Structure 1
Amino acid sequence: MRAFIQTIDLVNRLLGRAVSWCLIAMMLAQMGVVISRHVFGYGTVALQEAVVFGHALVFLLASAWVLQRDEHVRVDILYDRAAPGVRRIIDLAALVLFVLPVAGVIAWYGWDYAAHSFANLEGSRQPGGLGGVFLLKGAIVVFAVSVGLQGLSQTLKIIPGLPPARPAEAP
């Protein structure tokens, strides 16, 4: 069981780190958009879409890593004041009642959505836009699976009697 948890954690950590480099590409693309528009008076749809796609990829593909590192958004009104045992119960309830079911629903509906897009090799609807919209829609399925598996990993770490998994490494 520990090897299973560590494998999920490793894959999501590597995916999160890899996609974090997308932020640099997004910054450079956004600089290109601003410079081309304001200096040269020329706008480019493909470069603007690259920024939007990059932003979507960062959110989709780094979400499991964020969950693993416990950096996700949470309402801290009660959680911060709670004892460690109560925190474990809150975490377990959130994972079992929200994270795992929502990841499952997104994977279920996202599969057909992405498959249809892949079958048509969907591209941008804008003239001069990017052609890989189907890849972005495929990332929805990767998001759901990676978050679902990370949710399972986090759940297994919380269950009493299991040895604690190695903590996530700092970036």
Structure 2
Amino acid sequence: MAVTQSIVHFINRLNDSLCRLVSWLTLVMVIVTLLIVVLRYGFDIGWIAMQESVMYMHAMVFLLGCAHTLRVNEHVRVDIFYRGFSAQKQAKVDVFGTLLFLLPVNIFVLLISYNYVSMSWTLLESSQEAGGLPLVFLLKSLMLIFALLMLLQGIAELLMNIAKVKDASASSSGGDY
């Protein structure tokens, strides 16, 4: 039980730290976007690299923030019935959803994108735009990081929900588990 709690705690801390990074990155993205607009419309100056940097930051915000969003239960959920369920029933639905959808989909994303990302690294792929960022291989690597973070958070969610189901079962039966 202590090992399970420490695994969950580690994964949650990792995603919380990334969330703080993403929060600051969001502020930087807004400032750079404002700078792009002021330079373009105020001074008729523009750089492709600066515009692409906003796209890179947006990708990082989305792909590095997804696991934290799952952690704090702010992800998109079709919950016609879910919100009316007991905590134990919600935990059972979450275990089922994690095993049937979350983990397999992210394993698929990881497997499918691996060759795509590794080929990009082999080529040290850069922007096709003149003056663009030479870091497309890093941008594509976010797909693997996303899938790994989601898998880790999925494991943490699975462990927490299994513990909820066990705790509810133990308390309802009055015995130890």
> Within 2, Cα distance between the matches of 1:133 and 1:44?
17
For 2:108, the aligned partner's letter is: V
Correspondence 1:124 to 2:127: yes
| 2:174 match | none
Residues 32 and 47, structure 1, Cα contact 8 Å, conserved in 2: no
> Within 1, Cα distance between the matches of 2:167 and 2:88?
15
> Within 2, Cα distance between the matches of 1:3 and 1:86?
25
What is the CA deviation profile of residues 25-82 of structure 1, one whole-angstrom value per residue up to 9, with x for unaligned ones? 1101101110111101122211111111111111111111111111111112222222
Cα displacement (A) at 1:12: 1.5
> Within 2, Cα distance between the matches of 1:127 and 1:162?
59
| 1:59 match | 62
Cα displacement (A) at 1:103: 0.8
Cα displacement (A) at 1:162: 6.6
| 1:87 match | 90
Runs of 4+, deviation exceeding 6 Å: none
> Within 2, Cα distance between the matches of 1:121 and 1:19?
25
For 1:161, the aligned partner's letter is: K
Structure 2 unmatched ranges of 5 or more: 169-177
What is the CA deviation profile of residues 78-97 of structure 1, one whole-angstrom value per residue up to 9, with x for unaligned ones? 22222222211221121111
Correspondence 1:3 to 2:6: yes
> Within 2, Cα distance between the matches of 1:80 and 1:121?
47
> Within 2, Cα distance between the matches of 1:51 and 1:162?
46
TM score, norm. by length of structure 1:
0.89
Correspondence 1:138 to 2:141: yes
Out of 33, 36, 39, the residue aligned to residue 36 of structure 1 is 39
For 1:132, the aligned partner's letter is: L
Q: Label 1:108 to 1:162 Cα distance change in 2 as closer, same or farther (>3 A).
A: farther
Correspondence 1:49 to 2:52: yes
For 2:44, the aligned partner's letter is: G
* Structure with the higher helix share, 1 or 2: 2
Structure 1 unmatched ranges of 5 or more: 164-171
Residues 44 and 128, structure 1, Cα contact 8 Å, conserved in 2: yes
Task: Please list, as runs of the form range in 1=range in 2, the aligned pairs for 1:11-30 lying within 5 A after superposition.
Answer: 11-30=14-33
> Within 1, Cα distance between the matches of 2:71 and 2:167?
17
> Within 2, Cα distance between the matches of 1:117 and 1:94?
33
User: C-alpha root-mean-square deviation of aligned residues, in Å?
Assistant: 1.5
Out of 155, 159, 163, the residue aligned to residue 158 of structure 2 is 155
| 2:171 match | none
TM score, norm. by length of structure 2:
0.86
Which of the two has higher C-alpha Rg? 2
